[in-house]
Amino acid sequence: MPSSIRRHIDAIVTGFKHLRYPPLTLSYPEAVEERPPGYRGFILYEPEKCLGCGLCAQICPARAIKMHVQGRKRRPGYSMARCIFCGLCVDICPAEALEPSSIHDEAFEVVEHMELDPEEWGQRSRELRGRKPAARVVRPVIDEVWGIRYERVG
Ligand code: SF4
Ligand code: SF4
């Protein structure tokens, strides 16, 4: 038997052997891992509440927030590329216009698109608030036989 056919057969046999193991991969985004308490992600912004005080931009250690001038108003813009998710901006905001979230997987086509001006930040925050939750939330657990397996938690 030619060696290439032999290798194909070996690969198929190996595949069948592994069918008895529970899957180690998740069919993302339908299934996601549970986030631990306090997990920090994208900062959500509500422009309607914002006073334009600029405290969030002043305190941000990563310079992820920059103030923009819009007519006679000042409003913050946000860079997810720079944000280190420390939460200082949320704590200092006097108007509760900023809110932490556990969203870490917001996708952008190019890195420049991660720089959001005030309108884009507000719009993106509205979309993320309305995002459909994952159909399945799982927690990885150590298993003496399988090494690791996923338990459904929601
Ligand atoms: S969470 Fe921290 S790094 Fe991110 S924007 Fe707020 S202050 Fe800046
Ligand atoms: S600290 Fe709050 S109110 Fe002040 S500019 Fe930032 S988001 Fe607006």
The CATH number that applies at residue 127 is 3.30.70.3270
**Shortest-distance atom of ligand 2 to CA 89:** 1
Mutation test of ligand 2: which of 44, 48, 56 has the most ligand atoms closer than 8 Å to its C-beta? 56
Please indicate, yes or no, if residue 104 is contained in any of the structural domains: yes
Q: What pTM, to 2 d.p., does this model score?
A: 0.82
Quick check: helix, strand or coil at residue 111? Answer: helix
For residue 48, the enclosing domain spans 39-135
**Shortest-distance atom of ligand 1 to CA 100:** 1
* pLDDT interval class at 145 (50, 70, 90): confident
Please indicate, yes or no, if residue 69 is contained in any of the structural domains: yes
**Considering just the CA atoms, what is the radius of gyration of the chain in Å?**
22
**How much of the chain exceeds pLDDT 70, in percent?**
99
Please indicate, yes or no, if residue 11 is contained in any of the structural domains: no
The highest-confidence range among 15-19, 70-74, 76-80, by mean pLDDT, is: 76-80
Please indicate, yes or no, if residue 76 is contained in any of the structural domains: yes
Give the residue whose CA is nearest to atom 2 of ligand 2.
93
Given a contact cutoff of 8 angstroms between Cβ atoms, the answer to whether 65 and 57 are in contact is yes
Q: Give the rounded distance of the alpha carbon of 93 from its chain centre.
A: 22
Please indicate, yes or no, if residue 153 is contained in any of the structural domains: no
Q: Which ligand is nearest to the CA of 68?
A: 2
* pLDDT interval class at 59 (50, 70, 90): very high
- In b/e form, how buried is each residue of 57-93, taking b as 16+ CB within 10 angstroms? beebeeebbbbeeeeeebbbbbbbeebebbebbbeeb
Please indicate, yes or no, if residue 25 is contained in any of the structural domains: no
The total number of structural domains in the chain stands at: 1
